[in-house]
Every structure is written in structure tokens, then in C-alpha cells.
Amino acid sequence: MNFRLITLAGLALALAGCTSVGTSTNGIEAKWRGQPAGVFFAKFGPPISDIDAGGSTVYTWRGAYKTRKVPAEYADLGNGKKGKVTARARTEYLRCEVQLTVSSDYTIRGVRTVIDKPGTGGAPSYCTTFLAGE
């Protein structure tokens, strides 16, 4: 009896861990899925590595290096006066790294973002802006 209960509990836990996979896409994938990989690499440069994944190849691309200066933020005292520093000025080093899943006919089937920075003020991420033109 205990064996059945343990088996049933294990099966319930295994099924609870399952999730359905939807068709969620990011802006980069929406733009590049179905396009030839050669067009992507001609526009942004060659990949840094590739891995054979059965009937497809996963290419890793890295680029879009940029330095962004973020000014300091100050407390507002009213009448245009600034108070204490609430956030120091800083320099952000931006870059993108994505993995492209490419089929045997050299068509992009999926894009996964590996390294990215979120956009400021609700804007799209840096990689989305750079690679998808949003």
C-alpha cells in the first residue's frame, strides 16, 4: 500500500512539473524566424561558435558593443533645486549575445537571447532595439 501511495505521489509531482509550451516569441525572434541565416550574419557579422544539434545547428552570435553614460539622479527640493544624490552617475557597457537555431536549409527556426540589458523607461531591451529595429 505504501509503495502505491509513494508511486502515486511521485507521478503527481512529475505531472505538476510539466508545463505546456506556447508560441511565445520575443521581438527578435518575431523579426528573424523564417529568414535565411545568411542575411542575419551579413547584416550583423559572423557567429562566434556553432554546435550541431541533430538536424539543426545552433549558432552563437555576439556583438552590438556600446557604452552608455547614465547621469546622476538627485532628490528634488522644489523650485528647480537639487538635493542629495539618490543614484550616482555610471557607465553601462552594453552588448548582445543570441543563439540562433538554424535548420539544415539554413533558415532561422528560433532565437534565444543569452546576454541583454533591459530598456530604460519601459523601452524594449537593447538587443531587441539593435537586432529587431524596435
- What's the confidence (pLDDT) of residue 118? 87
Cβ(69)–Cβ(91) below 8 Å: yes
Q: Which residues of the chain have pLDDT under 50?
A: 5, 8-24
Whether the Cβ atoms of residue 107 and residue 37 lie closer than 8 Å to each other? yes
Q: Which residue's C-alpha cell is 531591451?
A: 125
**Annotated domain spans of the chain:** 27-132
- The model's pTM is 0.69
**86-125, pLDDT tens digit by residue?**
999 999 999 999 999 999 999 999 999 999 988 877 888 9
The whole-number pLDDT of residue 79 equals 87
SS3 assignment, position 43 = helix
